[in-house]
Structure 1
Amino acid sequence: MAVTSEATTVWKGSLIEGSGDVHLDSSDSGTFPVNWAARSEGVRDTTNPEELLAAAHSSCFSMALSHALAGAGHPPESLQTTAAVTFEAGRGVLGSHLLVSARVPDLSEEEFEAFAEDAKTNCPISQALAGIPITIEAELA
């Protein structure tokens, strides 16, 4: 079954002086302000497209890794994934770096790293981001 997710942005004004709000329509779980300063200067009072992309990447990766581990008989006790998406004005999105820490009983560090690398390559958001470098640091806690 295919599922379509939706979000709507209402933007007012020019790129530099303007601002907008992003509403997560499908879940109705929030509305977030966005502006150019958050994207280009690192101003932290609003979100930006790269932060939303990082949220999508970290959650998708965590789901893929959890599924693969459980399917191999190693359900994780916990996974924590941070995705750091880098943007530069004039160049665009430069990459996504995944930082993963997990508690997985009876699994070696080498085995875990192999599962993490596979999830990095094969989660749907990683595949959608195929045009940028994706790096990973993964460790068992």
Structure 2
Amino acid sequence: MNTSLSLENQVCFPIYALAKEIVQHYRPFLDALGITYPQYLVLMVLWKEREQTVGQLGDRVFLDSGTLTPLLKRMEQKGMVERRRNPADERVVNISLTPKGLALEEQASDIPQKLMESMQVTEEEVVALKNSIMKILNKQK
């Protein structure tokens, strides 16, 4: 048997399993805010950038417009974001935060700390893991 094809020897499997586990740890904190994990990702970008096009958001959160557009529509229905066509180019949709979306930033401010406590890891461990992942991701660009 070729051991290089054993599930235990794959780097992708523990990363896949860890990603699912991390999202599960986020769930109670995000449920309390009435948002999903992908919505949280969008909000984090908008809390920093304030306004983005759908294309810019997709690039930042690694979602295509077919996935992002319905997600943004739901966020708009919940009153978190506003979608507006760009007057200079009707094909471009600008996304900005509403007061409700802005207010969620303060409510979410303790999520990173709560997540580390929930996963029983230190900030140093999280930073080391993130740095290793980013090293691989940045080599792909």
Tell me the TM-score normalized by structure 1.
Answer: 0.37
Tell me the TM-score normalized by structure 2.
Answer: 0.37
Where is the strand percentage greater, Structure 1 or Structure 2?
1
Where is the helix percentage greater, Structure 1 or Structure 2?
2
